[in-house]
């Protein structure tokens, strides 16, 4: 099968910009750079576009977070999601059918109430919902687990493969070369500036190199002599056979550390996490998580009992200590940029691609991405984002 947007010509020996990683971050950035008129952009991937976390994620999209940094960036992204299909001339199957973060204990209810107040103060459209309202939004939810929540009516989900293909094709139309099956094995640095990359298909010179390598980002940074304080973690998902529509919005549960939605074809798609981050670079799914997902989702949505699983897979994400992305230039290596540390990198891609492209093109990072610089991690200025549904401690599932 032809890989959407993939380049058939040989890899050239020099480009203006080389992006390592053809995930949604690398491809969105390439597309936006080309739109700004930057010529000779190459995206290199050892696998295929979307072969990393971008083709393995839960597809959930929202901007109702708790910090100024996150709400600013993700609200801009959500705005872009609404018109992304038209922008890319490719249907990314964005569904703005709502996103409910569900509270199941009095403490979680209070947390959601406070989040909604903070979100309103930050200009994000969301609402605190009572138990009754939560059950009205998701009538099939187990009432014991629905004591309230935060609802963002215009958030939702999109199809991850369609998003990757849409960006890849749109970027290729603008002249971006996407080279698959090319492994970056080194990053050339001389005189404090990046000079290009080494690959298993030869050296490639470039004055700008962007590390968008997802779970491989730390290794790429090390190749440039840069310490990236992140860790690689494994997440897992399941998809069931099609069932009649019963779940309209995207749904995340604070109690179960789970998130899910139902596709237009009727498949239920969901993932859960254990109370700790599964620090691993393995792409093998585990029985531990499979059992956890099955049990938790049947508890959350009892009508799933007896529904058959179609698929189960694992994917990797790169995580910083504050679980916030790492975006922008690396001060000690001129021309070397990062877009990594992404826990919610699917939903964040449309805004980040556009803003980072502008920053690289104009030499000044736009305000919305400036707080996510790598410097904050080295200086211990962590971003305080409390409205994530992810495990925070370290551990291992298997």
Ligand X SMILES: Cc1cc2nc3c(=O)[nH]c(=O)nc-3n(C[C@H](O)[C@H](O)[C@H](O)COP(=O)(O)OP(=O)(O)OC[C@H]3O[C@@H](n4cnc5c(N)ncnc54)[C@H](O)[C@@H]3O)c2cc1C
Q: What is the C-alpha separation between 313 and 230, in angstroms, rounded?
A: 23
Query: Judging by beta carbons within 10 Å of its beta carbon (0-12, 13-18, 19+), is residue 241 exposed, middle or buried?
Result: exposed
Closest approach of Cβ 263 to ligand X, in Å? 13
Shortest distance, position 11 Cβ to ligand X, whole Å? 12
Q: What is the DSSP letter of 304?
A: G
**Angle subtended at Cα 274 by Cα 270 and Cα 279, rounded to the nearest 5 degrees:** 105
Nearer to ligand X, 162 or 317 (CB): 317
Least distance to ligand X from the beta carbon of 99, Å?
Answer: 10
Could you tell me whether strands 336-340 and 177-180 are parallel, antiparallel, or unpaired per DSSP bridges?
unpaired
Quote the least distance from Cβ 132 to ligand X, whole Å.
Answer: 27
Q: What is the smallest separation between the CB atom of 280 and ligand X, expressed in angstroms?
A: 11
Name the site residues for ligand X (rule: CB under 6 A).
20-26, 44-47, 51-54, 56-60, 183-184, 212-216, 220, 235-237, 259, 271, 315, 317, 342-347
Number of Cβ within 10 Å of residue 157's Cβ equals 29
Give the Cα separation of 60 and 387 in Å (integer). Answer: 14
For the bound state, the minimum distance from the C-beta of residue 347 to ligand X, rounded and expressed in Å, comes to 4
Residue with smaller CB distance to ligand X, 66 or 271: 271
The closest of 62, 71, 21 to 42, measured between CA atoms, is 21
Report the residue number, 94 or 342, with the smaller CB distance to ligand X.
342
Q: Which of 281, 346, 394 is nearest to 23 (CA)?
A: 346
CB of 26 to ligand X, least distance (A): 5
Closest Cα to residue 75, out of 339, 350, 326, 319?
A: 350
376, two tokens: 């904050």
Q: Which is nearer to ligand X, 85 or 219 (CB)?
A: 219
Rounded Cα distance between 310 and 72, Å, is 37
Best CA proximity match to 149, nearest among 133, 161, 165: 133
Residue pair 342/330 in contact by the 8 Å Cβ criterion? no
Do 38 and 17 touch, CB atoms closer than 8 A? yes
**Quick one: 29 or 147, whose CB is closer to ligand X?**
29
């Amino acid at each position: 099968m032809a890989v959407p947007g993939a380049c058939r010509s040989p890899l050239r020996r020099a480009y203006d910009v080389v992006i390592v990683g053809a995930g949604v971050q690398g491809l969105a950035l390439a597309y936006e750079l080309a739109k700004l008129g930057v010529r000779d952009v190459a995206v290199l991937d050892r696998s295929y576009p979307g072969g990393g976390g971008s083709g393995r994620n839960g597809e959930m999209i929202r901007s109702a977070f708790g910090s100024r940094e996150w709400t600013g960036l993700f609200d801009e992204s959500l705005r872009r999601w609404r018109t992304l299909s038209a922008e890319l001339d490719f249907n990314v199957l964005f569904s703005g059918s709502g996103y409910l973060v569900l509270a199941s204990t009095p403490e979680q209810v209070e947390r959601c109430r406070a989040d909604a107040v903070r979100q309103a103060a930050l200009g994000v459209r969301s609402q605190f919902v009572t138990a009754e309202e939560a059950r009205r939004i998701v009538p099939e939810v187990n009432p014991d687990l629905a004591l309230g929540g935060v609802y963002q009516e215009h958030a939702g989900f999109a199809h991850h493969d369609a998003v990757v293909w849409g960006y890849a094709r749109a970027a290729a139309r603008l002249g971006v070369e996407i080279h698959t099956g090319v492994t970056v094995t080194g990053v050339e640095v001389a005189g404090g500036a990046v000079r290009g990359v080494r690959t298993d298909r030869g050296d490639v010179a470039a004055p700008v190199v962007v590390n968008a390598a997802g779970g491989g980002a730390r290794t790429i940074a090390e190749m440039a002599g840069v310490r990236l304080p992140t860790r690689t973690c494994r997440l897992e998902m399941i998809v069931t056979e099609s069932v009649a529509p019963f779940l309209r919005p995207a749904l995340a549960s604070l109690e179960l550390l789970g998130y899910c939605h139902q596709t237009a074809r009727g498949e239920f798609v969901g993932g859960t996490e254990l109370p700790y981050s599964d620090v691993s670079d393995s792409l093998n799914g585990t029985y531990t998580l499979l059992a956890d997902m099955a049990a938790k989702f049947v508890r959350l949505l009892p009508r799933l009992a007896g529904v058959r699983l179609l698929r189960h897979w694992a994917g990797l994400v790169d995580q910083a200590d504050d679980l916030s992305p790492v975006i922008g230039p690396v001060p000690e290596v001129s021309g070397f940029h990062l877009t990594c540390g992404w826990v919610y990198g699917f939903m964040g891609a449309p805004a980040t691609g556009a803003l980072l492209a502008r920053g690289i093109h104009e030499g000044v990072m736009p305000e919305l991405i400036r707080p996510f610089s790598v410097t904050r991690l080295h200086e211990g200025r962590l971003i305080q984002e409390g409205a994530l549904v992810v495990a925070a401690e370290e551990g291992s599932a298997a």
